[in-house]
Amino acid sequence: MPAIDIQECIDQVLQDGYCILRGHFPIDAIEACHAAWRPIADAHLAHHADNPNRGPNRHYIPLPFRPPLYNPAFFNDDAILAIATGILGENVIIDGFASDTPFKGSVHQDVHADLPELFPERPDVILPPHILVVNWPFVDVTTENGPFQIAAGTHLLPKSEGLSRVGAGEFPLLSLLMNVGDVLVRDPRCLHRGSPNLTDTPRVQAGFTLLRPWYIRRRLVRNPIARSYLETLSDREKDLLQRLPVDEDE
């Protein structure tokens, strides 16, 4: 695994809005995730194939915090948590865990941020990050299968200015081509969009969010974690996962 310069990653996220850790997550663990994801996606599609929640043939699917989708190799990774702590401060917590998947027939999304502005009445005030997203693909991401596209640096602009300058072509939308094992750490305020998947293979990308502890997302769908599994985890993981609903019975 290549050595990681944590400060360089922190600086990239702060300046560009994202960094990529190449070859960072174990491939066998991701293959196990991919296999576990299929029946979850099939169950989701059985109800929602005709009303996709992220545009035509594109689905956001909340994932369970249980193995193999939950793996400490993803959620309790020293480098990722050092980057997150360096940006968000101590006591970061995890809330959402989901997959984003463009299937064949998906289209370009509108350019967007994943978050509302914290203080919409003062769009001129550019605040430091309060939330980060950690994404990792279950398949290699190519120009054909719907790469995530990002306009680097746009989290440092008022949102409406960023949107109009991306529209005017001042900020290129970069396709992030990633291999299985690569990890994207991003500020979800940085403007981005999904692009069309032209292939028959769903471009599955998992993601979880890391937050400053005072930030609460009330409308987020969070799958519960089983008490019996939570009790097997390290103290650091229990702290990270403290916001999750706990299923006492499972």
Nearer of residues 104 and 229 to ligand AKG, judged by Cβ: 104
For position 100 contacting ligand AKG by CB under 6 A, the verdict is yes
194 binds ligand AKG per the rule CB under 6 A: yes
Residues of the chain by 3-state class (helix, strand, coil), percent to 5: 30, 20, 50
Answer for which of 192, 208, 233, 241 binds ligand AKG (CB under 6 A) is 192
Q: Is 239 in the site for ligand AKG (CB under 6 A)?
A: no
Amino acid symbol at 115: L
Among 65, 97, 136, 148, which residue sits at the site for ligand AKG (rule: CB under 6 A)?
A: 148
Closer residue to ligand AKG in complex, CB, 203/212: 203
Closest distance of CB 176 from ligand AKG, Å: 9
β strands within 37-118, DSSP E? 58-62, 93-102
Q: Does 129 bind ligand AKG (CB under 6 A)?
A: no
Q: Is 114 in the site for ligand AKG (CB under 6 A)?
A: yes
Token pair of 203 as six digits: 């471009």
Shortest gap between Cβ of 197 and ligand AKG (angstroms)? 9
Q: How far is the CB of 73 from ligand AKG (least distance, A)?
A: 22
Contact between 187 and ligand AKG per CB under 6 A: no
Tell me the closest approach of the beta carbon of residue 112 to ligand AKG, in angstroms: 6
To the nearest whole angstrom, how small is the minimum distance from the Cβ of residue 137 to ligand AKG?
A: 9
Size of the site for ligand AKG (CB under 6 A): 11
How near is the Cβ of 188 to ligand AKG at its closest, in Å? 8
Q: Please, which residue, 11 or 114, has the CB nearer to ligand AKG?
A: 114
Binding of ligand AKG at residue 205 (CB under 6 A)? yes
Contact 101, 203 (CB under 8 A): yes
Residues 63 and 198: their CA atoms lie apart, in Å, by: 25
Q: Which of residues 45-64 bind ligand AKG (CB under 6 A)?
A: 54, 60
Catalog residues that contact ligand AKG under the rule CB under 6 A.
Answer: 54, 60, 100, 102, 109, 114, 146, 148, 192, 194, 205
